[in-house]
Amino acid sequence: MNKNQSDTIITVENLTKRFKDLTAVNSISFNVKKGEIFAFLGPNGAGKTTTIRILTTLLSPTSGEAVIDGQSVTHHPGEVRKVIGYVPQMISVDGALTAQENLMLMARLYDVPFRERQESVQRILTFLKLEKYANLLVKTFSGGMIRKLEVGQAMLNHPHVLFLDEPTAGLDPIAKRNVWQHLLELRDKFGTTILFSTHNMEEADEVCDRVAIMSAGKIAAMGPTQDLKNKVNKENATLEDAFVFFTGDHLQENGNFHEIRHLRQTMRRLG
């Protein structure tokens, strides 16, 4: 697929994850290039979160292989963890700590050297325009501020690849734009590769270099958004049209009870 190997930062081959009687991810393969913004598009239960959890070393695959920055997620998870950042779908900052403490905690877990820690944390607070709120408990923050702080936490180790699971679910349009501004800046400044999942078509269309449309554990289609739209026999086709075209318009099993509850809880919290 990608001829220039040195350009590729994520290589996934025949990745499969089975839970008891459910095949969440069914033999998917794809590559992501350095500095690319790549999205998994699909409904709940399509296997997006499971794929991200395997790539971030949280779950081990049933079969297949994934390599990030030259290291296998199954054989050298410790090495992979050093070069990736992760923002889970749910809230991943501690409401009982201040913004500053949350960042400091991550800086220490990521082995940011003692001398640089204070400065890194300060730089990120400035970058995210959260300086004024540094010493407030995070439970007093709005949804957009929380998401920004989570992105900030994941930036502390200058990750080569940043994974985000539904980064803007439950955010209002302004907060959404704000979070993406920071993410795009991150890519432009440091060349960070960004891989995220979403079921928001407009979001994917706006920011992605390429998307993979996932359906029932498989990749139904993959490519630049314009290419996918061109394949639909319709004038001015949107990404949503492409999505329906490639997945068929039958209704998906919409995730399980647990996932839905998580999602709703998250939405409520992010308010």
Partner 1 sequence: MLKYISQVIIKSYVMAEMEVRKLLHDPTELIMRAVQPILWLGIFGEAMSKIRAIPTEGFTYLQFITPGILTQSVTFVAVFYGLAIIWERDIGLLPKFLVTPTPRLAFVWGKMISAGIRGLSQAVIIFLFAILLRVHLLFTPISILGTVLIIMLGASFFTGLSTVIAALVKTRERFMGIGQLITLPLFFASNAIYPISIMPSWLQAVANVNPLSYMVNGLRALLVTGDLSRLPFDIMVLLVVALAISILSAYMYPKIMA
> Applying CB under 8 A, which residues contact partner 1?
19, 53, 56-59, 78, 81-82, 84-94, 96-98, 101, 105-106, 108-111, 137, 150, 153, 262
Alpha helices in 138-199 (DSSP H): 143-155, 173-190
Distance, CA of 119 to CA of 11 (rounded, Å): 34
Which H/E stretch holds residue 78? helix 77-83
- Nearer to partner 1 (CB atom), residue 36 or residue 150: 150
- Name the residue nearer to partner 1 (CB basis): 103 or 228: 103
CB 245 → partner 1: shortest distance, Å? 33
Contact of 26 with 52, CB cutoff 8 Å: no
Residues 185 and 152: beta-carbon distance below 8 Å: no
Beta carbon nearer to partner 1, 78 or 173: 78
Q: Which is nearer to partner 1, 85 or 144 (CB)?
A: 85
The phi and psi torsions of 245 (rounded to 5 degrees) equal -60, -45
Do residues 31 and 11 lie in contact, with contact meaning Cβ atoms separated by under 8 Å? yes
Q: Min. distance of Cβ 65 from partner 1 in angstroms?
A: 19
- Least distance between partner 1 and beta carbon 232 (Å): 36
Collapsed DSSP state (helix, strand, coil) of residue 54: helix
CB of 31 to partner 1, least distance (A): 22
Q: What is the DSSP letter of 98?
A: B
Taking the least distance from each CB to partner 1, the nearer of 18 and 218 is 18
Nearer to partner 1, 149 or 232 (CB): 149
Q: How far is the CB of 234 from partner 1 (least distance, A)?
A: 39
CB of residue 85 to partner 1, shortest distance in Å? 8
- Inter-residue contact 133 to 141 (CB < 8 Å): yes
What lies within 8 Å, CB to CB, of 56 at 6+ separation is 73, 80, 84, 86, 163
Tokens representing residue 122 in the block: 């300060």
